[in-house]
Amino acid sequence: MISWNIANTKEGQDSWYFPSVEIQEYLLPIINVGGQNFDESGKTKYAIEDCQRLRNTIDFAKETLSLMSKSVVRYETIEEGLASLDKNEIISTLDKLANAAELAIKQETSLLFYGD
């Protein structure tokens, strides 16, 4: 699974990762706003401008999820078929991504994503 951290810093968190393959698969198309596509087995770098777009995209995604009355998001996975995802876990992951993007912007550095 993909994890992320701030470039050139040790302020990153050990908990900055997608909590499940299904949530990663669900969120990657939504947060893929950088200059390069995600490399799920290598490294992807988001520059400051990418982090700003990511922050805006996350705000929109969280607002959309908050409008849903159900606590479960149904999602058609690539290999396993229909999956039920916990809406709060998706929002928590988006919060972590937003925190990382904010920190990268504040430190004027990039956000790095590491595939497995």
The whole-number pLDDT of residue 92 equals 96
The band of 103, judged by pLDDT with boundaries at 50, 70 and 90, is very high
Which residue is listed with tokens 């995802």? 85
Secondary structure (3-state) at 25: helix
Q: What is the pLDDT of residues 35-78, one digit of tens each?
A: 778 888 889 999 999 999 999 999 999 999 999 999 999 988 88
The band of 11, judged by pLDDT with boundaries at 50, 70 and 90, is low
Count of domains forming the chain: 1
Q: 20: alpha, beta or left, given left = phi > 0 and alpha = psi -120 to 50?
A: beta
Secondary structure (3-state) at 46: strand
87 in Cβ contact with 68 (< 8 Å)? yes
Closest C-alpha among 36, 9, 66, 44 to residue 116: 44
Q: Which domain holds residue 49?
A: 3-114
The whole-number pLDDT of residue 80 equals 81
The CB density around residue 36, as the number of other CB atoms within 10 Å, is 12
Query: Kind and range of the H or E element at 49?
Result: helix 48-66
Which residue is listed with tokens 């982090």? 51
Range 80-104 average pLDDT: 94
CA distances from 59 to 21, 22, 27, 93, 108 (A): 22, 21, 13, 12, 20
Q: Of all residues in the chain, what percent carry a pLDDT higher than 70?
A: 94
